[in-house]
Amino acid sequence: MERAGSRSTAFFRMVAERGDVRALHEPFAKVIDHGETELHGHPVTTTDELIDRLLHLAERTMVVFFKDATDKRHQHVLERPDFLRSGRHTLLIRDPRPATGDVDGVDPAVGGCPVRVGGTRRVFRCAAR
Protein backbone atom coordinates (compact mmCIF):
# COMPACT_ATOMS: atom_id res chain seq x y z
CA MET A 1 0.00 0.00 0.00
CA GLU A 2 1.36 3.46 -0.87
CA ARG A 3 1.95 6.08 1.77
CA ALA A 4 -0.66 8.86 1.79
CA GLY A 5 0.70 11.85 -0.10
CA SER A 6 3.77 10.08 -1.44
CA ARG A 7 2.95 10.71 -5.11
CA SER A 8 1.92 14.31 -4.58
CA THR A 9 5.02 14.96 -2.47
CA ALA A 10 7.19 13.45 -5.20
CA PHE A 11 5.51 15.75 -7.72
CA PHE A 12 6.12 18.71 -5.38
CA ARG A 13 9.82 17.83 -5.07
CA MET A 14 10.16 17.57 -8.84
CA VAL A 15 8.71 21.08 -9.27
CA ALA A 16 10.80 22.51 -6.41
CA GLU A 17 14.03 21.15 -7.91
CA ARG A 18 13.48 23.03 -11.16
CA GLY A 19 14.94 26.15 -9.60
CA ASP A 20 12.77 28.63 -11.50
CA VAL A 21 9.76 28.25 -9.21
CA ARG A 22 9.13 29.39 -5.63
CA ALA A 23 7.77 26.16 -4.14
CA LEU A 24 5.87 25.91 -0.85
CA HIS A 25 4.86 22.65 0.80
CA GLU A 26 1.37 22.71 2.36
CA PRO A 27 1.38 26.33 3.56
CA PHE A 28 -2.36 26.39 4.32
CA ALA A 29 -2.23 23.14 6.27
CA LYS A 30 0.70 24.51 8.29
CA VAL A 31 -1.21 27.67 9.23
CA ILE A 32 -4.32 25.68 10.14
CA ASP A 33 -2.59 22.80 11.94
CA HIS A 34 0.38 24.62 13.51
CA GLY A 35 -0.69 28.28 13.58
CA GLU A 36 2.15 29.44 11.35
CA THR A 37 4.11 28.95 8.17
CA GLU A 38 7.06 30.80 6.68
CA LEU A 39 6.87 32.61 3.39
CA HIS A 40 9.93 34.22 1.90
CA GLY A 41 11.61 34.40 5.31
CA HIS A 42 8.64 35.88 7.17
CA PRO A 43 6.24 34.14 9.56
CA VAL A 44 2.61 34.04 8.40
CA THR A 45 -0.10 33.25 10.94
CA THR A 46 -3.43 33.65 9.13
CA THR A 47 -4.82 32.29 5.90
CA ASP A 48 -5.79 35.75 4.65
CA GLU A 49 -2.25 36.97 5.25
CA LEU A 50 -0.92 33.91 3.43
CA ILE A 51 -3.17 34.55 0.43
CA ASP A 52 -2.20 38.23 0.30
CA ARG A 53 1.51 37.40 0.49
CA LEU A 54 1.24 34.69 -2.15
CA LEU A 55 -0.49 37.11 -4.51
CA HIS A 56 2.14 39.78 -3.83
CA LEU A 57 5.02 37.34 -4.28
CA ALA A 58 3.58 36.08 -7.57
CA GLU A 59 3.21 39.65 -8.87
CA ARG A 60 6.79 40.66 -8.18
CA THR A 61 8.86 37.51 -8.64
CA MET A 62 8.88 34.18 -10.37
CA VAL A 63 6.19 31.54 -10.55
CA VAL A 64 4.82 30.43 -7.17
CA PHE A 65 3.81 26.79 -6.78
CA PHE A 66 2.30 25.31 -3.67
CA LYS A 67 1.10 21.85 -2.86
CA ASP A 68 -1.60 21.51 -0.26
CA ALA A 69 -4.04 18.82 0.76
CA THR A 70 -7.73 19.22 0.01
CA ASP A 71 -8.84 16.93 2.83
CA LYS A 72 -8.77 20.05 5.02
CA ARG A 73 -11.66 22.46 4.68
CA HIS A 74 -10.06 25.54 3.16
CA GLN A 75 -13.21 27.65 3.12
CA HIS A 76 -11.13 30.85 3.40
CA VAL A 77 -9.45 30.00 0.09
CA LEU A 78 -12.77 29.32 -1.60
CA GLU A 79 -14.05 32.72 -0.43
CA ARG A 80 -11.20 34.55 -2.21
CA PRO A 81 -12.07 34.61 -5.91
CA ASP A 82 -9.16 36.99 -6.53
CA PHE A 83 -6.82 34.25 -5.35
CA LEU A 84 -8.60 31.43 -7.16
CA ARG A 85 -8.56 33.33 -10.47
CA SER A 86 -4.97 34.49 -10.13
CA GLY A 87 -3.29 31.22 -10.95
CA ARG A 88 -3.29 28.00 -12.82
CA HIS A 89 -4.59 25.02 -10.88
CA THR A 90 -3.35 21.46 -11.08
CA LEU A 91 -5.37 18.82 -9.28
CA LEU A 92 -3.76 15.42 -8.85
CA ILE A 93 -6.46 12.77 -8.69
CA ARG A 94 -5.64 9.12 -8.26
CA ASP A 95 -7.32 5.88 -7.29
CA PRO A 96 -8.43 6.72 -3.72
CA ARG A 97 -8.42 3.13 -2.43
CA PRO A 98 -4.69 2.86 -1.60
CA ALA A 99 -4.55 6.31 -0.02
CA THR A 100 -7.80 5.82 1.90
CA GLY A 101 -6.55 2.62 3.51
CA ASP A 102 -3.27 4.27 4.48
CA VAL A 103 -4.92 7.38 5.92
CA ASP A 104 -7.20 5.15 8.01
CA GLY A 105 -4.06 3.83 9.68
CA VAL A 106 -2.68 7.33 10.25
CA ASP A 107 -5.89 9.10 11.27
CA PRO A 108 -8.62 6.80 12.62
CA ALA A 109 -11.05 9.77 12.67
CA VAL A 110 -11.24 9.55 8.87
CA GLY A 111 -13.19 6.32 9.33
CA GLY A 112 -12.87 4.89 5.84
CA CYS A 113 -14.57 7.73 3.97
CA PRO A 114 -13.14 8.70 0.58
CA VAL A 115 -10.50 11.24 1.47
CA ARG A 116 -9.52 14.31 -0.53
CA VAL A 117 -12.02 13.73 -3.33
CA GLY A 118 -14.75 16.01 -1.95
CA GLY A 119 -12.31 18.79 -1.17
CA THR A 120 -10.70 18.49 -4.58
CA ARG A 121 -14.09 18.73 -6.27
CA ARG A 122 -14.97 21.82 -4.22
CA VAL A 123 -11.71 23.56 -5.17
CA PHE A 124 -12.21 22.64 -8.83
CA ARG A 125 -15.75 24.05 -8.89
CA CYS A 126 -14.75 27.33 -7.23
CA ALA A 127 -11.65 27.81 -9.39
CA ALA A 128 -13.61 27.10 -12.58
CA ARG A 129 -16.14 29.91 -11.95
- pLDDT tens, N- to C-terminus, the chain (129 residues): 345 457 778 888 998 998 888 889 999 989 988 999 998 889 999 999 999 999 998 888 778 888 887 666 677 888 888 888 888 877 776 666 665 555 544 555 544 444 556 666 777 677 777
What CA–CA distance (Å, rounded) separates 121 from 14?
A: 24
Residue-range definition of the domain harbouring residue 64: 6-127
The three-class DSSP label of residue 24 is strand
CA distances from 1 to 8, 95, 102, 109 (A): 15, 12, 7, 19
Classify residue 59 by burial, with Cβ atoms within 10 Å: 0-12, 13-18, 19+: exposed
Strands 37-39 vs 42-44: parallel, antiparallel or unpaired: antiparallel
- How many distinct structural domains can be found in the chain? 1
Q: Looking at the domain assignment, is residue 1 inside a domain?
A: no
Residue 104: CB partners within 8 Å, gap ≥ 6? 110, 111, 112
Q: Looking at the domain assignment, is residue 80 inside a domain?
A: yes
Q: Looking at the domain assignment, is residue 93 inside a domain?
A: yes
Output the CA angle 123-60-32, nearest 5 degrees. 40
**H runs (alpha helix) in the chain:** 6-16, 27-34, 47-60, 75-78, 81-85, 96-106, 117-127
pTM over 0.85: no
